Amino acid sequence: MSFYTEVKDEAALIIPADKHCKIAELSAFFAFYAKHAAGEGRSLLFSPENEQAYRKCFTLLTKAFNIETEFLGETTEGLREYTVFSSDMPEFNKVMSAVSLNNSAQILARDCCRRAFLRGAFLSAGFIADPNTGYHFEITVSDEAKANLLIGLFEGFEIKARKSVRKKQFVVYIKESEAISDVLNVIGAHKAMLSLVEARIVKDVRNDVNRRNNFDTANITKAVNAASRQIEDISYIRQVEGVDNLPESLREIAEVRIAHPEASLTELGGLLDPPVGKSGVNHRLRKLSEYADALRGRVKSEKT
């Protein structure tokens, strides 16, 4: 089972205790999930393809308004099957009046209702990516006003959401892992929230290990390249004029470096008598490099 399905299944099982929260969640279903049918009268179509929302909607209708599912018929539009909630039913006007976003100030007055509304919006038109592959949460809506409503609700929970346009629809999305974790907490999907946090911790640890390994590898490569250049410089000095004319400190470090090509600067310093610190060793090797460059310059000048 995908993480997306697990989150939706968990959210679908949450039934608010209070009627006002049930109405708030239904309001989201009617705003983001229901489709208006053309023709005589008024009717709303619910696609059974979104199984979690399909079942949750009927559960809330039953518990909030005592509407039994047998009152709801079925029809076919094209090749897709819908369940219809129509104006032929005596409860239609009562339900539509209660859940209409025209009453959003009243419906969303309570913190618990805002949470229920966001949960219904996610079940209706939401998507969440598997945190093991990436962080992405979104809700797709039909118009900008609804997108702005969702963004405002998220901001009320100190969650930064953004919007974009995709195929003539508005997408409210969040890409930060901590913010997505906060969303799951807000809609009550606590098991999913813990799974996301666990995945984030594992990913962070793995990335930290990789960064450390990359850092160590880069340092090793840098040290090997530096040692190779040092040995090349010392070999050139020995070949052209020998090391006897070098100051004692440089002659000593040259001999130690040639004898121990794989040693670190700290290890080279420990081999000197008396021992020299890392910065002292680095200073002497740099002097050797400068001497070798100057010697190359003189040899080149003499040849010309």
**Alpha-carbon torsion (242, 248, 250, 251), positive or negative:** positive
| Measured distance CA(147)–CA(151) in Å, rounded | 6
Residues 64, 108: one domain? Answer: yes
Is the sign of the CA dihedral 103, 51, 127, 134 positive or negative? positive
Residue 194 lies in a domain: no
DSSP 165: E
Instruction: Out of 188, 217, 242, pick the residue that ends a domain.
Output: 188
Instruction: Say how far apart CA 239 and CA 245 lie, in whole Å.
Output: 13
pLDDT in tens, 118-140: 999 999 999 999 988 889 999 99
183 and 221 together in one domain: no
CA distance 174 to 187: 15
Average pLDDT over residues 272-291: 88
Residues 142 and 41 in one domain: yes
Nearest Cα neighbor of 82 from 110, 112, 53 is 53
**Residue 202 resides in a domain:** no
Sheet containing strand 80-86, edge to edge, reads 35-36, 43-46, 80-86, 73-77
pLDDT per residue over 10-28, tens digit each?
Answer: 999 999 999 999 999 999 9
- Residue 289, C-beta contacts closer than 8 angstroms, at least 6 positions apart: 229, 230, 233
Number of domains in the chain: 2
Bigger pLDDT: 153 vs 228: 153
Which regions of 90-220 does DSSP assign to beta strands (E)? 126-128, 137-141, 162-166, 169-174
As to burial, measured by CB atoms within 10 angstroms (0-12 exposed, 13-18 middle, 19+ buried), residue 22 is buried
93: confidence class by pLDDT, cuts 50, 70, 90: confident
State the pLDDT at residue 173.
96
Q: State how far the Cα of 234 lies from the Cα of 149, in Å rounded to an integer.
A: 72
Q: Residue 35's beta-bridge partner residues?
A: 45
Q: Are residues 165 and 19 in the same domain?
A: yes
Q: Structural domain of residue 59, as residue ranges?
A: 3-188
User: 108, exposed or middle or buried, with CB in 10 Å at 0-12, 13-18, 19+?
Assistant: buried
Q: In the predicted model, what is the mean pLDDT of residues 246-256?
A: 86
Q: pTM for the complete prediction?
A: 0.67
164-199 per-position pLDDT tens digit: 999 889 999 999 989 999 999 999 999 998 888 888
- Asked if 154 and 21 sit in the same domain, the reply is yes
